[in-house]
Amino acid sequence: MKTYLTGIQATGMPHLGNLLGAIKPAIDFANSKNDSQRFLYFIADYHALTSVRDPQKFSDDTYQVAATWMALGLNTENAIFYKQSDIPEIFELAWILSCHTPKGDLNRAHSYKAKRQANEENGKNDLDHGVNAGLFNYPVLMASDILLFDTNIVPVGKDQVQHIEIARSMAQRINQYYGPTLVEPQESLSGSGQYIPGLDGRKMSKSYGNDIPLFVPEKRLKKLINKIKTDSREPHEPKDVKDSLIFELYSCFANEDEKKSLAKRYEEGISWGEAKATLFEKVNDYLVEPREKFNHLMENRSLIDKELKLGAQKAREISSEVLKRIKKNILNF
């Protein structure tokens, strides 16, 4: 049996980039499950502690992520769905991995290097200013998320590949010391591995402030789509779909006939306002039903709690056995 695992950090309402790059492919994959596959999807809530200092926000963000997966159609009969914080074995394994990981490996982690670079650009004398141990050890906790479940495949965006490489390196090192102990995971790029563009053309990200949250009200969704960056070409002037953020996002939701139809309108000189209106209608149609489910779940959080509790029970059946094997090999008990 091959095990697939993916997670999403609890940092607020997921956006279109999360939907298209991770959540939808993962749900579609799980819903096509066969007996030779096992799927684990988790909410990486403790990862958020590297930056979140508001308990209410921490809770709300976690519920929003859970409600998003459920509203978008995750079948929990086909996938084990749980919160990271409900699996104590993750944190025990993280310490074991920390004790076998060279500091130099963590020095090279993208998240840590980015923080140091930002400090340098901002003229900080201490390049580790604002870096907590959680941020520095982030790759260790992520590796524990993966290795604890004998994960074979981790679907990721290309900016996350390094984390899988680090986890694989940790597994290899443990196996060299103690014999076959951990499964060495492999990354799998979703689709083409390309980023989902945000309002300004960069990768859609909350940190850039260019994201489109999934379940905002229709008026807010329309307003955000109207902010998408365009060029100065006038109405009736032919436009190139290859250079259009609007068309790129539209293509993520449309079928081939719909894409051909909009491409023809581009050639005929559709105005940017009309193009944005067409994108809004397509995205909104896709989100109407999930938005209603999301709002219902957020108003009835006990429904979310029930699913996550069941998922945690299933996950711990796996994690407890794997940790026993690891401790037997490493600690001889």
The length of the chain is 333
pLDDT exceeds 90 at position 155: no
Distance CA 91, CA 217 (A): 38
Residue identified by tokens 């000189």 is 269
- Tokens in use for 249? 């996002």
Alpha helices in the chain (DSSP H): 16-18, 24-31, 55-71, 88-98, 103-107, 110-121, 133-136, 138-147, 161-178, 218-225, 245-251, 256-268, 272-299, 301-331
- Tokens in use for 251? 């293509």
Distance CA 63, CA 115 (A): 28
- Tokens in use for 122? 């901002």
Q: How confident is the model at residue 333 (pLDDT cuts 50, 70, 90)?
A: confident
Question: What's the Cα-to-Cα distance from 120 to each of 92, 113, 242, 254, 325, rounded to whole Å?
Answer: 34, 11, 36, 44, 44
pLDDT exceeds 90 at position 176: yes
Give the rounded percent of residues in the chain with a pLDDT score beyond 90. 82
HSE on the CB side for 232, CA within 13 Å? 0
Topology (CATH level 3) of domain 2-196+301-331: Rossmann fold (3.40.50)
Which residues sit opposite 40 in a β-bridge? 5, 80
pLDDT exceeds 90 at position 89: yes
For 246-298, what is each residue's pLDDT tens digit?
999 999 999 999 999 999 999 999 999 999 999 999 999 999 999 999 999 99
**Residue 105: count of CB within 10 angstroms of its CB:** 15
Give every strand in the sheet of 80-83, ordered side by side: 80-83, 37-44, 2-9, 153-156, 186-189
The CATH H-level (homologous superfamily) assignment of domain 215-295 is Tyrosyl-Transfer RNA Synthetase (1.10.240.10)
For 225-250, letters b (16+ CB in 10 Å) and e give: beebebeeeeeeeebebeebbbbbbb
User: Helix 55-71 crosses helix 272-299 at what angle (to 10 degrees)?
Assistant: 110
Residue identified by tokens 């023809």 is 264
Whether the Cβ atoms of residue 90 and residue 319 lie closer than 8 Å to each other: yes
Q: Which one-letter DSSP state was computed for residue 194?
A: P
pTM beyond 0.85: the answer is: yes
Q: How confident is the model at residue 33 (pLDDT cuts 50, 70, 90)?
A: confident
What's residue 159's pLDDT? Answer: 75
In the chain, CATH 1.10.240.10 covers 215-295
What's residue 167's pLDDT? Answer: 97
For 208-254, what is each residue's pLDDT tens digit?
899 999 999 999 999 999 999 999 999 999 999 988 999 999 999 99
What's residue 255's pLDDT? Answer: 95
Distance spanning both ends of the chain, measured CA to CA? 27
HSE on the CB side for 153, CA within 13 Å? 13
Average pLDDT in the 154-173 region? 90
pLDDT exceeds 60 at position 191: no
In the chain, CATH 3.40.50.620 covers 2-196+301-331
